[in-house]
Amino acid sequence: MSDDLLISVENVTLRFGGVVSLRDVSLEMRRGEILAVIGPNGAGKTSLFNSITGVYQPQEGSITYFSSKAPPLKVIGKKTYRIAQLGVSRTFQASRLFSALTVFENVKIGAEDHGGIGIAGALVKGPRTRRGEHASDRVAISQLEFVGLMNEAGTVASQLSYGARRRLEIARALATGPELILLDEPAAGTNPSEKLELTNLIRRVRDERGVSVLLIEHDMKLVMALAERLYVLNFGSVIAEGTPQEIRENQVVVDAYLGTHDQASA
């Protein structure tokens, strides 16, 4: 599977004291894929995202990111901003929106942050930041149109419905112009119609923006509808990899996770 690799995770082990969050994890993702990571609570899914984005530093193994703009990057030990600059963006399991700012301001901060101004600079708007102002306005507007939130541009983020908040998080992550977006439970807390909207939006992120999508999600309907391939984590280890159909039919996965979970989200 070496054709057009985007991310290669090789034998990664991550420990916190006595807790092993990732145990000899290997994973490959191709450019243009929608790839999912599923598994029970505490399986290590978010730890994997944190390792790919430079938040956590695994003690063993290697992670290589193949940007189209730069030579292959060995991720472990690199700063989060450096990895982000090369095109890796993410959303968080727990919302990190600025709830007192408007929808527009939230996305604009994402766009300006990428310009090296930083969130503090974007908020203070010193002379240094004005230069990038119009460009980041345009970027923000384009993301809001894309996620269907342009009519809410002036709304304070805390006033949004849950589904709209989750779409805003995706808009903000897209504002940095990523090649790869990591979505950590993007549909958590949303209702069925919002889940359907998010499913369509995530597919459009890949199809229309050409951004590769690595997705963590507990909702099996959403995951199976979107992902072309899945990895299953359990207690920090990869227990299966395959297409949605292969994963559904894998008895080890059914026993460890899907047996109870499929019913819950059916």
The residue ranges that bind Mg ion (CB under 5 A) are 45-46, 93
CA dihedral 71, 76, 82, 83 (to 10 degrees): 70
Measured CA to CA, the distance from residue 74 to residue 81 in angstroms comes to: 14
CB-nearer residue toward Mg ion: 86 or 256:
256
Question: Closest approach of Cβ 164 to ligand ATP, in Å?
Answer: 22
What are the residues binding ligand ATP (CB under 6 A)? Answer: 16, 19, 21, 39, 41-47, 93
Using CB distances below 5 to 8 A depending on partner kind, what does residue 47 bind out of ligand ATP, Mg ion, none?
ligand ATP
Q: Confirm if 45 and 216 have CB atoms less than 8 A apart.
A: yes
Residue type (1 letter), 229: R
Do residues 182 and 89 lie in contact, with contact meaning Cβ atoms separated by under 8 Å? yes
- Between 146 and 257, CB nearer to ligand ATP: 257
Provide Rg for the chain, Cα atoms. Answer: 18
Shortest distance (Å) from residue 156 CB to ligand ATP: 28
What's the closest the beta carbon of residue 185 comes to Mg ion, in angstroms? Answer: 7
Nearer to ligand ATP, 45 or 167 (CB): 45
What does 32 interact with, of ligand ATP, Mg ion, none (CB < 5 to 8 A by kind)? Answer: none
Nearer of residues 47 and 136 to ligand ATP, judged by Cβ: 47
End-to-end CA distance of the chain: 32
Which of residues 86 and 187 has its CB atom nearest to ligand ATP in the complex?
A: 187
**Could you tell me what percentage of the chain is helix, strand and coil, using 3-state DSSP and rounding each to the nearest 5?**
45, 25, 30
Length of the chain in terms of residues written: 266
* Number of Cβ within a 10 Å radius of residue 199: 19
The binder of 13, among ligand ATP, Mg ion, none, by C-beta within 5 to 8 A per type, is none
